[in-house]
Every structure is written in structure tokens, then in C-alpha cells.
């Protein structure tokens, strides 16, 4: 079996120790993976781009900012990041920034964490029609909640919806995490209202309404001819409707969590993979002899309602990369969407209603950029000052920046070399 639990290596022993990076795995195995007969993933341009940009991240290939010490005149190179949303390095900073911005935008009331899971029987259809099914998934789940709160309480609510396609073991497991306001704006008076007893709604009701809404959308997609249908589903309308009828007897999983007054906990949990790869590099325990070990949450052997146990999974590099790279999002696909009070169109409408403020007098641009955000991030992550000389601790003066001129877009089956020199 490719999957196993290590007896000598406890998952707790590896926690919070970043020993390996995804780029290490790509550098060691990606070329062999492309030629491997055991590879099941059809490699597309988005996969190649994700791998190559991750390999080039923070190397001379993407250019650098040059600094010189005011004291000893030593030079320091700060290499540019790739900013790819499947990169483990840059994604952490982007995720943190997104979470901080979102907490400011949310209403100052308690919020609920709601999870919608796509039934297993629909996963093949979702793989073959990712954009259409994911769009429907977003739309159906948000409509159910918005309609319920509008009908039951006469409220406009706010929803932030985040798509996760991976389970903890990296298998294909599409589900939506929703941050739902525990209240909203009264449709009649425009006043902000908090839901009584911080109670959102019954999950059993949501399951039924979501199933109906989703299946209605599936039928509309089928009627338009917008679906690539696997197996017997392409034989005719009766086969497709029979398939939907079978779905009615299956359990549609919808989880509604109690309201939390502290929004930061929900935002950080929901947004942890919005701007980076679906596997935290802290979870990679070892890379050895063509096998990758990583920590995952073992829900199967954990009791319902309790914190899931952690276990170690060991996979051959081909299966590991199959599982990992299947979750690279399509270019420009929005993994995070906003509805109700948090929708962009609502914000624009509110902004247009506000009196115009005079624009400040334009200030002449300065040659030296500001690095305050970068310095704060570097200090928090690495525990040292990025813009101080490592030799004499004197301040560094910005000299300029260099761009390599390499287009970070690969159309051939090639990978970046391991030479990181500029």
C-alpha cells in the first residue's frame, strides 16, 4: 500500500518545523514525474506554470532589490517572489494580508462558519466541468442562505464564500467554507440587526434547500448543453434525471457552526489556503527515496465532534504530485466570492451614495519605495530585521532593482533549473 502510518515518527514531532519546501519536491522529482508511467494527471499549462514559478520564487531568475550597508558597504540582495497563488512561500504573506483586510470589512457582529460539501457522486462531473459546477456550487449555496434570512428575518446578510477542493489527505474533496453574518441590515428600515440567540438556521433545512437549488441548476446546465457528461449520463435526458433521483436519497452534508464573536478565528481558518497551495509546508515531514511523508488529519479514525487525530501519510512522488497538482486552480478562476452586504456591487452602491470627498493634492513621487509592510512581515516570520546589515547591523540603503526579463510563462514540458544564481 502506498498509504501508511509511520510508527517511529509521531506527527507532533514535526509540527511547526518547516524542514522542506514544495520547491524541493519539484526540483527532485518533477522531471521524472512528467515521464512517469504511473502519472495519472493530465499535465496542463497551469500545472507547469505553478511548478516553474514556485521553483523561480525568490531566486535571481525573477530579479531582485539591491541594498547597500551604510556602514561596511556590504551588498544585500532581496530576491523577488513569484506571487503565484499555488506557491507555499508567497502565499502565506498574501493570505495573512487578505485575512487582515477582510476582518476590517466584516460587520462588527458575530459570524457563523457554514460548510457545504459536494456529494461524492458528483465529483466526477465536477472534475470534467470544473468551472460550471464550481460556479453553480457558489451560487446555489449563497442563494439558499440569502433567501432564507430574507424570508425568515427580513434581512440582507453578508457572506464570504471560499472554495477548497482538497481534503487533508490531498484527495479531491470539493467543499465550500462560508463566513455568514449573524444578522444584517433590515430590508424595511435599513437598521443593523443581530439574530436572536445567535442562531442561524437548522442544517437539515439547508440540506434540502441546497439540494433542490443545486439540482435545479444542474438541469439548467444540462438543457443548455453546457456539461461534459461521463458514462451513461450522456445517453439521454432520462438517464440524467435518473442520476439526479438517486442523489435525492443520498446525504448532502451541510454543517452550521455556532456563532463566534471573534471573527479572526473563522477568517484565519477559512482563508488558510486562499492564496497558497493546499498543503502547508509545515506538514511535510520527510522527502526520502522517492517517497514524501506528510501529516494529515485522520477523520476516518476520529470521533465525530472531537478534534481529528493527526497521522502520517507516505506516498510515492508520482501519487503525491498527482494529488497535489490536481488542485492548481485554473487561471483567473475566483476561489473567493462575496455575496449580499459583502458583494462588490453593494459596496460600490454605498460608496456612490456617500458625499464626494476632495482629492488630496498630488504629491511628487519619490525614488525610494517604502518597505514598511515588508519589514513588518519579515520581522514576524523570520524574527530578524530584513533591512539591516547581517554583518554590522547598520541600516541598508536602497540602491535599485533588477528584473531578469524572463517571462514567467512556460508553454513546453520544461522546468526551471536548480541554479539560483542571478
Kindly write down the DSSP assignment for every residue of 303-331, as one continuous string: -TTSPPEEEEEEEEHHHHHHHHHTTPPPT
Q: Could you give the percent of the chain with pLDDT greater than 90?
A: 52
**What residue spans of 120-196 are helical by DSSP H?**
123-128, 130-153
pLDDT tops 70 at residue 198: yes
pLDDT tops 90 at residue 374: no
What grid cell was written down for 139? 451560487
pLDDT, residue 361, reads 39
Backbone CA torsion sign across 406, 409, 411, 415 = positive
The stretch 142-162 carries a mean pLDDT of 95
User: Cβ distance 129 to 240 under 8 Å?
Assistant: no
User: Cβ distance 122 to 132 under 8 Å?
Assistant: no
Distance CA 175, CA 133 (A): 12
pLDDT, residue 319, reads 98
| Average pLDDT for the chain | 83
Q: Could you give the percent of the chain with pLDDT greater than 70?
A: 82
The stretch 136-154 carries a mean pLDDT of 96
What grid cell was written down for 397? 540603503
pLDDT, residue 41, reads 96
pLDDT, residue 192, reads 93
pLDDT, residue 4, reads 44
Distance CA 274, CA 329 (A): 10
Confidence of residue 12 (pLDDT cuts 50, 70, 90): low
Which of 259-263, 359-363, 409-413 is predicted most confidently?
A: 259-263
Confidence of residue 10 (pLDDT cuts 50, 70, 90): low
| Of 12-21, 116-125, 140-149, 405-414, minimum mean pLDDT range | 405-414
Tell me if residue 156 falls in helix, strand or coil: strand
Place of cell 477548497: 164
Confidence of residue 406 (pLDDT cuts 50, 70, 90): low
pLDDT, residue 367, reads 42
pLDDT, residue 92, reads 72
pLDDT tops 60 at residue 203: yes
pLDDT tops 90 at residue 33: yes
Place of cell 507555499: 88
Tell me the pLDDT tens digit for each residue of 61-72: 888 888 888 889
| Of 43-57, 86-100, 361-375, minimum mean pLDDT range | 361-375
What grid cell was written down for 125? 462531473
Tell me the pLDDT tens digit for each residue of 348-357: 455 444 444 4
pLDDT, residue 349, reads 52
Amino acid at each position: 500500500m502506498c498509504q501508511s502510518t509511520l510508527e517511529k515518527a509521531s506527527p507532533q514531532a514535526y509540527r511547526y518545523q518547516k524542514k522542506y519546501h514544495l520547491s524541493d519536491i519539484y526540483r527532485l522529482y518533477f522531471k521524472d514525474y512528467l515521464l512517469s508511467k504511473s502519472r495519472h494527471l493530465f499535465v496542463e499549462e497551469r500545472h507547469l506554470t505553478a511548478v516553474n514559478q514556485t521553483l523561480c520564487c525568490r531566486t535571481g531568475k525573477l530579479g531582485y532589490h539591491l541594498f547597500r550597508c551604510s556602514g561596511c558597504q556590504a551588498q544585500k540582495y532581496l530576491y523577488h517572489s513569484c506571487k503565484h497563488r499555488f506557491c507555499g512561500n508567497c502565499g502565506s504573506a498574501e493570505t495573512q494580508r487578505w485575512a487582515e483586510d477582510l476582518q476590517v470589512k466584516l460587520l462588527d457582529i458575530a459570524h457563523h462558519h457554514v460548510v457545504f460539501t459536494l456529494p461524492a457522486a458528483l465529483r466526477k462531473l465536477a472534475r470534467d466541468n470544473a468551472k460550471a459546477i464550481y460556479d453553480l456550487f457558489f451560487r446555489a449555496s449563497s442563494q439558499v442562505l440569502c433567501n432564507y434570512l430574507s424570508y425568515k428575518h427580513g434581512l440582507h446578510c453578508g457572506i464570504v464564500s471560499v472554495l477548497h477542493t482538497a481534503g487533508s489527505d490531498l484527495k479531491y474533496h470539493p467543499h465550500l467554507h462560508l463566513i455568514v453574518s449573524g444578522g444584517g441590515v433590515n430590508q424595511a428600515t435599513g437598521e443593523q440587526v443581530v439574530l436572536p440567540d445567535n442562531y442561524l438556521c437548522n442544517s437539515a433545512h439547508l440540506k434540502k434547500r441546497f439540494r433542490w437549488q443545486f439540482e435545479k441548476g444542474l438541469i439548467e446546465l444540462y438543457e443548455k448543453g453546457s456539461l461534459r457528461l461521463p458514462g451513461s449520463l450522456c445517453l439521454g435526458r432520462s438517464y440524467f434525471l435518473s442520476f439526479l433521483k438517486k442523489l435525492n436519497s443520498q446525504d448532502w452534508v451541510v454543517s452550521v457552526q455556532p456563532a463566534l464573536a471573534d471573527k479572526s478565528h473563522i477568517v484565519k481558518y477559512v482563508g488558510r489556503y486562499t492564496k497558497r497551495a493546499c498543503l502547508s509546508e509545515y506538514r511535510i515531514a520527510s522527502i526520502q527515496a522517492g517517497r514524501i511523508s506528510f501529516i494529515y488529519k485522520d477523520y476516518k479514525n476520529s470521533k465525530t465532534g472531537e478534534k481529528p487525530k493527526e497521522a502520517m501519510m507516505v506516498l510515492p512522488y508520482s501519487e503525491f504530485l498527482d494529488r497535489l497538482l490536481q488542485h492548481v486552480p485554473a487561471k483567473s478562476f475566483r476561489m473567493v466570492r462575496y455575496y449580499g452586504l459583502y458583494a462588490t456591487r453593494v459596496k460600490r452602491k454605498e460608496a456612490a451614495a456617500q458625499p464626494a470627498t476632495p482629492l488630496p493634492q498630488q504629491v511628487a513621487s519619490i525614488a525610494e519605495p517604502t518597505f514598511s509592510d515588508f519589514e513588518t512581515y519579515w520581522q514576524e516570520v523570520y524574527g530578524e530585521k530584513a533591512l539591516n546589515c547581517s554583518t554590522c547591523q547598520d541600516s541598508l540603503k536602497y540602491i535599485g532593482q533588477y528584473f531578469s526579463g524572463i517571462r514567467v510563462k512556460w508553454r513546453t514540458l520544461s522546468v526551471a533549473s536548480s541554479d539560483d544564481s542571478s
